[in-house]
Structure 1
Amino acid sequence: MNAQFILLPLLLQIALTLAMYIALTRAKLRAVELDQVDEARRALHDDAWPDSVIKINNNIRNQFEAPVLFYVLVFALLHLGAVGWLAQLLAWLFVLSRIAHAVVHTGANRVPLRRRIFTFGCVILILMTALAAWVLVVH
Structure 2
Amino acid sequence: MTIQAILAPVFVQVFLTFGLLIFLGRRRFAEIGAGRVRIGEIALGERNWPPKVQAAANAFSNQFEIPLLFFALVPLALYTRKADLLFVVLAWLFVATRAAHAYIFVTSNHVPTRFRLFMAGIVILGVMWLIFAWRILLTPLAL
Specify the TM-score bucket, using the shorter chain as the normaliser: over 0.9
CA distance in 1, matches of 2:26, 2:4: 34
Aligned residue for 1:100, secondary structure, equals: helix
Kept in 2, the 8 Å contact 1:24–1:53? The answer is yes
Pair 1:24 & 2:24 matched? yes
Cα distance in structure 2, aligned partners of 1:81 and 1:48: 47
- Whether the 8 Å CA contact 1:16–1:99 is kept in 2: the answer is yes
- In the alignment, does 2:104 pair up with 1:101? no
Q: 2:59 is matched with which residue?
A: 59
1:59: Cα distance to partner? 0.8
Given the superposition, is the C-alpha separation of residues 124 and 94 from structure 1 closer, same or farther in structure 2, using an over 3 Å criterion? Answer: same
Q: TM-score, normalised by structure 2?
A: 0.93
Cα deviations by residue, 1:104-134 (Å, 9 ceiling, x for unpaired): 0111000000000000000011111011101
* Structure 1 length-normalised TM: 0.95
Classify the secondary structure of the residue corresponding to 2:82: coil
Deviations 1:70-96 (CA, angstroms, capped at 9, x unpaired) = 011111111111111100000000000
Structure 2 unaligned spans of 5+: none
**Contact 2:6 / 2:83 at 8 angstroms: preserved in 1?**
yes
RMSD of aligned residue pairs (Cα, Å): 1.1
| 1:30-45 correspondence to structure 2 within 5 Å | 30-45=30-45
Give the structure 1 partner of residue 120 of structure 2. Answer: 120
Q: 1:73 to 1:17 in 2, by over 3 A?
A: same
The separation in 1 between residues aligned to 2:76 and 2:68, in whole angstroms, is 12
In structure 1, stretches of 5+ residues that fail to align are: none
Confirm or deny: 8 A CA contact 1:39 1:48 kept in the other structure.
no
Find the aligned partners of 2:136 and 2:39 in 1 and give their Cα distance.
Answer: 53
Number of the residue aligned with 1:90: 90
Runs of 4 or more consecutive aligned structure 1 residues displaced over 4 Å after TM superposition:
none
